[in-house]
Structure 1
Amino acid sequence: MASEFEPLLPRAGHRAATGGWKSALFIIWVEVAERFAYYGISANLISYLTGPLGQSTAAAAAGVNAWSGAASMMPLLGAAIADSWLGRYRTIVVSSVLYIAGLGMLALSSTLSSPQSQHCNLSADGLRACRPSSLQTAFFYVSLYMVAIAQSGHKPCVQAFGADQFDATDPTESLSRGSFFNWWYFGICSSATVAIALMSYVQDNVSWAIGFGVPCIIMALALVVFLLGTKTYRLYDSNDANGANVLSRAFSASRKTSPKSGSLVEHGERAENVVILEEVRSMARLFPIWVTCLLYGVVFAQPPTLFTKQASTLDRRVGSSGFEIPPAALQCFSGISMITCVVLYDRILVPVARRVSGITLGITMLQRIGTGMALAVAALVIAAMVEMKRLSTAIEAGVVDQPDAVIPMSLWWIMPQYVLIGAADVFTMVGMQEFFYDQMPDAFKSLGLALYLSVLGVGSFISSFLISVIDGVTRRDEGTSWFADNLNRGHLDYFYLLIATLTALELIAFLYFSVSYVYKRKTVNFH
């Protein structure tokens, strides 16, 4: 009997007629559309919460982080369902339908606001403040979390399904799979950049209903594209080689005693049990790496939340026409940085590093992750320095107590932190994607990508927790919160330095575990 951990065989179509870049391009375009839909609502979500929903800066930032955390943690469940029951193809289809429904409801929720449905009262300073009805707020959050549930099946399965189109035991296809992860990230970064620039402008200047509705239409088109490529996909015959059966057999194997003698069948079963147990143990060895990546998820949570609020106070006018860039659109700097770095990494750094190190991928996956974490620390330190400059400029301009006043400080000051975060993502995010996919057993590839997403999820929850705790502590005894609604009275610089310090300490722990990590043996010779 063959081991479940041997490469699975194509079930549909001749090997030469399916899979490879032909199928992968279909799947990449599907993910491009999905990322457009996701970032079309997530990038500017804090503006919606602090605007139409009337939440405070701290509450909105914590709320966005909690939702992002849920959206990134739920793929663990979606991947388990796909690997153990539905399969990746069917999970993608079901998740896409749910995704479309959630986005449609989100667009509908933004149209429910009306003077009659809002509750208004006078604030302490005599201004009329209006909040949406509890029904509208509840409908909005139900819709938002429906999107998070839909992403739980879509996100890990689409990427794993794309990587499945390349045979890791074939030298040519294995190299192509390495490039696949880079160009996959190029595609989603390009899509996210366009979505952030376009949708943030529409949402801030045209309509939130249209701003949420366009992603719904894009996601519907993504499902159509995915279905059109069905005949080109390399589908696999898993038989009983799925996650649930492998874990069941691993548990059974761990309880069996190995007799000193027996038939050839018994010897074969014992050998297979050893393979299964070893692969399950290899999953446990991923845990220290996963833990020491978690704070990178905290860093990843800052651009769409606090970076955006920080940018909203700056002079964002460009050109002689005085066109003003929406705050959320400044995240495009990260997207442009990612796109540029992916091309430079795949076409220049990898070939050069390959000749120097003799490693097929140029540098190891863990070296790539560690490099990105170091760049993230640098980005946070620069963000803190820019915030210190912003606070001192507000004092010099005499606008400290004018929260809506534009600080006489150009948006270009904030660009370096976005650029460095983008470069860090190319190293850390792509490195984690490839590492957790590559190092998981064949029966758990979707779960491997869900582990990478869970880093972002746990990181978002940690960020939400830190913001809530620090906000409460610094408000005590009539103190001023680091996240005051009037950012000129807050201290985002302290928060950035705190995260930078914690991330630097985590990087040290990551390096310790990386040095002793032993990669899975490869069955392909690249020489």
Structure 2
Amino acid sequence: MENRVADGNVERMQREGEDQLVVEGKVDWKGRKALKYKHGGMKVSLLIVAAFGMENMGTLSLAVNLVSYFNQNMHYELADAANMVTNYMGVSYMLSIVVALLADTWIGRYKAVVISGFFESLGLALLTIQAHKASIESPVCNVYVKGGGCEKVSGKLEAFLFIGLYLLAFGSAGVKASLPSHGADQFDERDPKEAMQMSNFFNCLFLGLCIGGAVSLTFNVYIENNNGWVWGFGISTAAIVFGTIIFALGLPLYRIHVARITNGIMEILQVYVAAIRNRNLPFPANPSQLYEIDKDKEAAVEIEYQPHTDIYRFLDKAAIQRNSDVEAENQKTPNPWKLCRVTQVENAKIILSMLPIFCCSIIMTLCLAQLQTFSIQQGSTMNTRIAKHFHIPPASIPIFPVVFLIIFVPFYDRICVPFLSRFTGISTGITHLQRIGVGLILSSLSMAVAAIIEVKRKGVARDNNMLDAFPVLQPLPLSIFWLSFQYFLFSIADMFTYVGLLEFFYSEAPKSLKSTSTCFLWCAMAVGYFLSSILVKIVNRATKNITASGGWLAGNNINRNHLNLFYWLLSILSLINFFVYLVVSKRYKYRPQHSAVTGGR
């Protein structure tokens, strides 16, 4: 009898020990509870970093070089080519929020990445076929017609181009939407050690992007410019396929987030609908009278609980109970479109508080769009020789700051962050908002430097009577390395802002929006790209009667454009945006962390 009792105690202790190793809300690939010692962690997240790096390897060369493809191979005007690229990038980033919602509520993040990788590969394969057919069917264009360009591609070839391009946009959106949040799922925020590892993961994710980008900006761009776009698109296709396979191989080791039928965005909408419906109800004398579920009655069920705050009081109307609501509560069937929990209301307040930060990050993407479009065209007019028989493609100029980041990111993560933590007491060295602010001011400086470099470039063209030497028959006697200064500043800005925004959105978002929150960054970038296209058209229309070229950015001759003035405009807008950011970030209050509690504890 005593032996049986002892054996029972051992079994009970083993079960309790195993329960402590279970990761709440995560399962393995067979649907069983995920275990800390077996699933997730930093090692398996390296597969995710590698896959993200391969995705960037396949697509970054397109982001910086597609303008040349559209302008020189498909014969679109420069401004139209630039807008096509920014529209493509904008659609891709905007679609990320759609895929994130599907991943959260239906297919799950792992399946979303695999399916998106398939569509991304399909889009690139179609672009490969289109480039091959265009090289065969399009006539060689040697004579320039009135308007400064050859007849642009049309008909089936143009249709093929756009189908492939936007399949690529959809696939890239899915990977960007689901892969970072799936990586964050491999860590438990409630475990201090794993929470620190998650911060390291986001830095590693950026490092993976830099390494993949370095290969893309050198090898891929070289192939595109020297072996043709058929080979360029083909290699990008192979990179995406390989990256998807790398990611898929980690399935037995992943912690997989269970897709929910209800979605956090819908819960936020319910708060606004309920607040509008209850707008005429008086506030209770004590906030404790607002509706909240009884945690003590929710034994063994993990719930999220947020304390009431006094900001955005108009949203508290959603938690005011009517008599009918009290009766419904007793029956456990309150209508969520009429009555919301205090925690649900507080989550809506958090999202509303994050909105100004989201808006302030848009202008930075507007600046990035110019480095991927007009700056590449600047480089096409300059001396690209770096050795006696070697020329660097203009689209490869960002390689120098990227290589710097490959060295600097580990140094920042392993040396700077622990050093700063000693003084600030913050595990990440500086706060997420401080990191974002550093990036925003550096982006303004990068546009100012870009304007100064453009003045110098045009000055050299003027001194050598080469203002009308376009298309370029002979490069300007000015090294393309002058452009590296603007790329260098912006790359550092990107490191601070990119990682800062990812961490900020993921850590501050409500539990039900953890995965979708990483898409806030991509949505901000999407708006920035769309805004770039709109701004180019507005600037051209506003300046068409005050410049000989018909607008600051009109026509194909960049030597006759006023790109320097456009860069100064962006620098001023970025500086104004930074001061606005200082105001909104100072007013922002971080949400209480570790707000998930378990009933009965």
Given candidates 482, 487, 491, the residue that maps to 2:552 is 482
Tell me the CA shift for residue 364 of structure 1.
0.6
Aligned to 2:565: 494
Aligned to 1:354: 421
Aligned to 2:590: 519
Take 1:488 and 1:126, find their aligned partners in 2: how far apart are those partners? Answer: 16
2:407 aligned with 1:343, yes or no? no
Given candidates 364, 373, 384, the residue that maps to 1:316 is 384
Given candidates 340, 357, 380, the residue that maps to 1:289 is 357
Change over 3 Å in CA distance of 1:123–1:414 after alignment to 2: closer
SS at match of 2:25: coil
Q: What do the CA deviations read for 1:337-375 (whole angstroms, capped 9, x no partner)?
A: 332332232122211211111112111101100100111
Take 1:495 and 1:341, find their aligned partners in 2: how far apart are those partners? Answer: 31
Change over 3 Å in CA distance of 1:113–1:515 after alignment to 2: same
Within 5 Å, which residues of 2 pair with 1:102-501? 102-114=123-135, 116-118=137-139, 123-124=144-145, 129-237=150-258, 242-243=263-264, 246-247=267-268, 254=318, 257=321, 273-319=341-387, 321-403=388-470, 404=472, 405-476=474-545, 479-480=548-549, 481-483=551-553, 484-501=555-572
Aligned to 1:56: 77
Change over 3 Å in CA distance of 1:191–1:435 after alignment to 2: same
SS at match of 1:17: coil
Take 1:245 and 1:11, find their aligned partners in 2: how far apart are those partners? Answer: 24
Amino acid at match of 2:438: T
Change over 3 Å in CA distance of 1:256–1:173 after alignment to 2: same
Take 2:575 and 2:567, find their aligned partners in 1: how far apart are those partners? Answer: 12
Q: What do the CA deviations read for 1:367-421 (whole angstroms, capped 9, x no partner)?
A: 1001001111111111110111111111111212212131111122221111101
SS at match of 1:318: strand
Take 1:183 and 1:126, find their aligned partners in 2: how far apart are those partners? Answer: 48
| Conserved 8 A contact 1:168-1:174 | yes
Q: Which has the larger radius of gyration?
A: 2
Count of residues in Structure 1 that have an aligned counterpart in Structure 2: 517
Take 2:152 and 2:332, find their aligned partners in 1: how far apart are those partners? Answer: 71
Higher relative contact order (CA 8 A, sep 6+): 1
| Conserved 8 A contact 1:200-1:326 | yes
Take 1:129 and 1:45, find their aligned partners in 2: how far apart are those partners? Answer: 17
Tell me the CA shift for residue 117 of structure 1.
4.4
Within 5 Å, which residues of 2 pair with 1:19-38? 19-38=40-59
| Conserved 8 A contact 1:95-1:151 | yes
2:26 aligned with 1:10, yes or no? yes
SS at match of 1:10: strand
Amino acid at match of 2:351: M
| Conserved 8 A contact 2:77-2:556 | yes
SS at match of 1:196: helix
Amino acid at match of 2:26: P
Amino acid at match of 2:493: A
Change over 3 Å in CA distance of 1:303–1:478 after alignment to 2: closer
SS at match of 1:9: strand
Change over 3 Å in CA distance of 1:87–1:397 after alignment to 2: same
What is the CA RMSD across the aligned residues, in angstroms? 2.7
Change over 3 Å in CA distance of 1:124–1:140 after alignment to 2: closer
TM, length-normalised to structure 2: 0.81
Change over 3 Å in CA distance of 1:497–1:342 after alignment to 2: same
| Conserved 8 A contact 2:319-2:340 | no
